Chains A and B, each alone.
Chain A
Amino acid sequence: MTLTFEDYPLGHFGTFGPRHVAREEILAFAAEFDPQPMHLDEAAASRSMLKGLSASGWHLCSIMMRMMVDGFLGRSASLGSPGVNEVRWLAPLRSGDDLVLDIEVAEARVSRSRPGTGIVTFKAIARNAAGQALCEMVSPIMLARRADAAAEQAR
């Protein structure tokens, strides 16, 4: 069954993963999108503020997106997202880490301009296997409402 706006009540929604992150994918993403030495080269990375090779923050966000799609968005009536309120990169993602994603519904409201659409604001926290929070993301996603719920309100 496809999940709609009504299936996202406020509060903790679920925990997803683990998702293993291999060194090769960290290097491949960095080479294509973020070729800074701290994401590509062990020696340079060990001299950087992050003290060792770490994944691009955009890579981490993209992996979090994939975990959300695999976890629930892929079977939801997702209509896309208008943006991201905030991303905080709290600690580096290292090669070999196993990511776990915690999802909370922080806000859920019906769109004013499109009554058939709801906007759910998710707070996603990615942690490594040790439980250390690596990234916090707050982002609204548009989801279709169940037809009868939308009609009920329109009446």
Chain B
Amino acid sequence: MYFFEDIAIGQRRELGSFTFTADLIKTFARRFDPQRFHLDEEEGRKSLFGGLAASGWHVGSVCMKLMVTDGQRRAREAAALGKTIAVWGPSPGFRDLRWIKPVLAGDTISFASEVESVRSSEKRPEWGIVQARNTGTNQRGELVFSFLATAFVPRRTAGSD
């Protein structure tokens, strides 16, 4: 994982892709979003989605999963080079999340993250605050998902400048 000082506006990471099978869509929906169009193919077809559609929270959670996995991959690479690993802090929230197109059973979504802004934390000098636009694109190249995420990222020299 990167430290705050390693991050610049415009940096982009491909986070990997994920296939939303009908089974995974229904399992998530039964736990967290049991609306008919997330549970049943026929109900999905009759809905605005036009097919069995993943809960938007499922799409967001999978994006989180791939972000964390990507971070762990970077941490392993850094460790292999003998570099210090930055452990990112929690997120205070996000804004402007859009479920642009439905994610239907069988769709494969590729996620990416692009840095939009960086600033220091006034209250916590050992942390910086990074905003990134995270997106999901389906196998037809259509943008289906987007949100502006915020995270606390540790500074390389705690408490300096």
Interface residues of A (CB under 8 A from B): 29, 32-38, 48-50, 54, 56-59, 61-63, 65-66, 69, 73-74, 78-89, 92, 142
Chain B residues lying within 8 Å of A63, measured Cβ to Cβ, are: 32
- Kindly count the residue-residue contacts between A and B in the assembled complex, taking CB atoms under 8 Å apart: 104
| Interface-facing stretch out of B52-60, B76-84, B106-114, B133-141 | B52-60
A62-B68 contact given A50-B90, A87-B93, A89-B93, CB 8 Å threshold: no
Assess whether B92 is in contact with A89, with CB atoms less than 8 Å apart: yes
How far is the CB of A89 from the nearest CB of chain B, in Å?
5
Assess whether A34 is in contact with B89, with CB atoms less than 8 Å apart: no
B58-112 contacts to A, CB under 8 A, are 60-62, 64-65, 68-69, 72, 87-99, 102
Interface size on B (CB < 8 Å)?
37
Assess whether A65 is in contact with B94, with CB atoms less than 8 Å apart: no
Chain A residues lying within 8 Å of B34, measured Cβ to Cβ, are: 66, 69, 74
Residue of A58, A63, A66 with most partner-chain B CB within 10 A? A58
Question: In the complex, what distance in Å separates the CA atom of A32 from the CA atom of B37?
Answer: 23
User: Which residue from chain A places its CB closest to the CB of B28 in the assembled complex?
Assistant: A62
